Amino acid sequence: MTGSADGGMTGDFTQLLLGVCAGALLAMAAAMLRAPRPAARWTGLTFFLTSAMFAVKLWNDETGALPPEMRMFVGVAAMTSVGWFWLMVMALFCDLDRYRPVMFLAPTAMGACGIANMLQLGPLSAQVWIVGTLLQVTLAVWSIAIVVRSWKDDLVETRRRLRGPFMVAVALYIISLNGFDILEMLGAAPAWYPMLNAGLFAAVVLGGSLVFLNPREDMFGEGVDPLEARPPVSLTPAPQPKSGANGERPFKADEAATGVSALDRAA
């Protein structure tokens, strides 16, 4: 009886964490609508929406509450999240403003694998699962390489300290998730894996909320340096007025009227 109660409490805590993840991801998706660069805006929006679907999928794996039609939609949308993550990394770290059509093969291929997984193609299911796993790991490793390569060239300190580490954490989570999926396929996944997965997911999502709930220009756009916004300072001395015949400067009536002193003119 105690074991059953513990299992119920563990399951409830797992579902709570997944609910927190879904809510935070939807909030970040809404925040990305304010991102200054269009490519970062809509790829970030789509990535966070599909990631919220992934949280719902994990919740449904625990509860089985969704109807079959909704389960298929959520599962396919969740599968595409890794492809959208790669596109978002390309927008943020390669400064892409326009994508080549071939680049959309990443989320499309992941969605096709998700559909094939839902259809349960019998003998081909294992091959489809292997292809999907390899695609996810490849896109995650590729994303890490892009982030690390551009890290040292990023001159904005806030982007280096926050944006880069979060994206690397997401990629590492994707790789670890696929590693546990392999163990699960082999029947070697530990019983505490669902709660660990939910905990890792919640830690990554809540860490990301520090970055993406305020998509300001210095994080996602071409922010203007405050020093660059100031007018250039001229090092050439201001021209001095010519002196009169007796060596005195000509008198100006407007200066006498406004009371401007020599110190004010020098300043």
Quick one: pLDDT band at residue 207, thresholds 50, 70, 90?
Answer: confident
Cα separation of 9 and 12, whole Å? 5
* pLDDT tens-digit series, residues 121-180: 777 878 888 889 999 999 999 999 988 887 766 656 666 666 678 888 899 999 988 888
Show the tokens assigned to 63.
Answer: 């509860």
* pLDDT tens-digit series, residues 58-78: 999 888 889 988 999 999 999
| Closest to 177 measured CA to CA, from 228, 222, 139 | 139
Beta-carbon contacts of residue 10 (< 8 Å; ≥ 6 apart): 192, 195
Show the domains of the chain with their CATH numbers. 7-223 (1.20.1070)
Beta-carbon contacts of residue 46 (< 8 Å; ≥ 6 apart): 84
Quick one: pLDDT band at residue 226, thresholds 50, 70, 90?
Answer: very low
* pLDDT tens-digit series, residues 75-123: 999 999 999 999 999 888 887 888 888 999 999 999 999 898 888 777 7
Q: Counting beta carbons within 10 angstroms of the beta carbon of residue 43, is it exposed (0 to 12), middle (13 to 18) or buried (19 or more)?
A: buried
Helix pair 81-93, 68-79: axis angle to 10 deg? 30
Neighbours of 77 (CB within 10 A): 22
Place of tokens 């210095």: 218
Beta-carbon contacts of residue 142 (< 8 Å; ≥ 6 apart): 86
pLDDT at position 46 is 95
> Can you tell me whether residue 211 is helix, strand or coil?
helix
Cα separation of 44 and 52, whole Å? 12
Q: Counting beta carbons within 10 angstroms of the beta carbon of residue 220, is it exposed (0 to 12), middle (13 to 18) or buried (19 or more)?
A: buried
Neighbours of 67 (CB within 10 A): 7
pLDDT at position 85 is 94
Distances (CA, A) of 208 to 7, 47, 87, 212: 30, 13, 17, 6
Show the tokens assigned to 249.
Answer: 């400067």
From the CA atom positions of the chain, what is the Rg in Å? 29
CA 161 to chain centre: 13
Cα separation of 62 and 66, whole Å? 11
